Amino acid sequence: MRKCLCLRVHLLLLFALLSTLAFAQGRTITGTITDDKQAPLTGATVSVKGTTAVTTSDVAGKFSILVPQGGRTLVISFVGMQPQEVTIGSGNVVNVSMQASAGAMADVVVVGYGRARRANLTTAQTSVSAKEIERTVNTTVEQAIQGRAAGVYVTQNSGQPGGGISVNIRGVSSITGNTEPLYVIDGVQLQGGGTTNSSNPLASLNPSDIEDIQILQGPSATAIYGSRATNGVIMVTTKRGKAGQAVFNYNIQYNVQTPPKALSVMNLPQYAAMRKEFHALAGGTTPQEFLDPSILGPGTNWQD
């Protein structure tokens, strides 16, 4: 009887010791991190407040972290999202839904492999946001870039609507080769032809449909797109539908262009008389239609 009692006491002490060790070592907390649309967030940082324990979420948004003794709060952060602090309860599963931060998105830029903080980039990068585009009247995308992106020079090859354009980012890298950047519109790569191409790869885009424009040059561009990005990359992200109440916007623009000063030019009879006099002095043959200027009408003034 005494041996049985001693065995029970020893077992009780052993269980108490194991429980103390387990409590001292902490416990493992798992969970999933998503955005406000329930899409998983990859690379979100999860840490235990007041300790050095930290981990990141995988491609499915799942994480697992060992919480030391005394850990009571998880701190979750992600680029462009509002940081959250979650109190650890009695359970071992913590699921977090993060909300986008409008203020933090101003410091987030799009690069070839995703999004990154502007302060963490070591490459040449210029961005044009939708708010900057909406401030002024832009009928084409190249007008939205011109004068708003440092180091970017846009030249239109012709006056034809939708005609080809030449874009140089931080100077010309070649005299005889192609100096056009690579255009990436929502992940689709388009190559501009510069002066040799009569079409504009940005002509089909409505400036009102653009969310932002990122202009990259350097390692972040060539590491993803290779030699095609030697002259830089212009990344265009268009607007997408959002959950919630539908909103309709209607914009109309009416432009009138007038010459600042009309030039004094000859009418058709005066021009015919001038041609007739010229040929008489030069010894050439006057064209048949200019022999009698009096029978000609006034002609057309193309300035009107």
> Minimal CA–CA distance to 158: which of 192, 201, 190, 199?
199
Q: Output the tens digit of pLDDT for each of the chain's 304 residues.
A: 555 555 565 566 555 544 444 444 578 999 999 988 888 888 899 999 988 899 999 988 999 999 988 888 999 998 778 889 998 888 889 999 988 875 544 455 555 455 555 444 545 567 787 787 777 777 777 777 777 777 788 777 766 666 666 777 776 666 666 778 888 888 888 876 555 555 667 777 888 888 888 888 777 677 777 777 778 888 888 887 777 788 887 777 777 777 778 888 888 888 888 888 888 888 778 888 888 887 888 888 877 7
Question: What contacts 248, CB < 8 A, 6 or more positions away?
Answer: none
Cα 230 to Cα 217: distance, rounded to the nearest angstrom: 8
Reported CATH class of domain 20-97: mainly beta
What is the phi/psi pair of residue 269, to 5°? -60, -40
Structural fold of domain 124-238: Ferric Hydroxamate Uptake Protein; Chain A, domain 1 (2.170.130)
> Minimal CA–CA distance to 105: which of 78, 142, 84, 126?
78
> Domain-by-domain residue ranges, the chain?
20-97, 124-238, 263-304
> Minimal CA–CA distance to 183: which of 145, 223, 215?
215
The DSSP bridge pattern shows strands 27-34 and 96-97 to be: parallel
Give me the sheet containing 27-34, strands edge to edge: 62-67, 27-34, 96-97
Q: What is the pTM of this model?
A: 0.48
